[in-house]
């Protein structure tokens, strides 16, 4: 590898929108992200809706989501 052409690879602090902070290594000192493994639904197993002008409710009405949930609970 040539010397003097690569950026410094230093310790970095990653800050999530949920407040979670962790350390890693990067060429940047501070990294800000919107979602991380501590709050992402795939990793937590919890559904999290980010609603924009009623899109979630529109989807639930379209596919009769409320009746499905009640039917599953009855079983």
Phi, psi of 61 (to 5 degrees): -70, -40
pLDDT tens digits, residue range 22-68?
999 999 999 998 888 888 777 777 765 665 667 777 777 888 877 77
pTM over 0.75: no
Is 3 among the domain residues? no
> Cα–Cα distance between 65 and 75 in angstroms, integer?
16
Is 43 among the domain residues? yes
Is 50 among the domain residues? yes
Split into its structural domains, the chain has a count of: 1
Q: What is the CATH number of the domain that holds 57?
A: 4.10.80.400
Is 2 among the domain residues? no
| CA angle in degrees (0–180, nearest 5) for 43-46-50 | 100
Per-residue confidence (pLDDT) for residue 45, from 0 to 100: 72
Q: Domain residues for 67? A: 10-74
DSSP characters over 11-74: EEEEEETTS-EEEEEESSSEEEES--TTT-HHHH-------STTHHHHHHHHTTHHHHHHHHHH
Per-residue confidence (pLDDT) for residue 48, from 0 to 100: 59
């Amino acid at each position: 590898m040539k010397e003097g052409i690569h950026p410094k690879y230093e310790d970095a602090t990653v800050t999530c929108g949920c407040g979670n902070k962790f350390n890693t290594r990067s060429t940047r000192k501070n990294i800000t992200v919107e979602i991380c493994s501590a709050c992402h639904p795939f990793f937590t197993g919890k559904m999290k809706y980010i609603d924009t002008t009623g899109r979630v409710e529109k989807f639930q009405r379209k596919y009769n989501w409320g009746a499905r949930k009640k039917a599953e609970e009855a079983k």
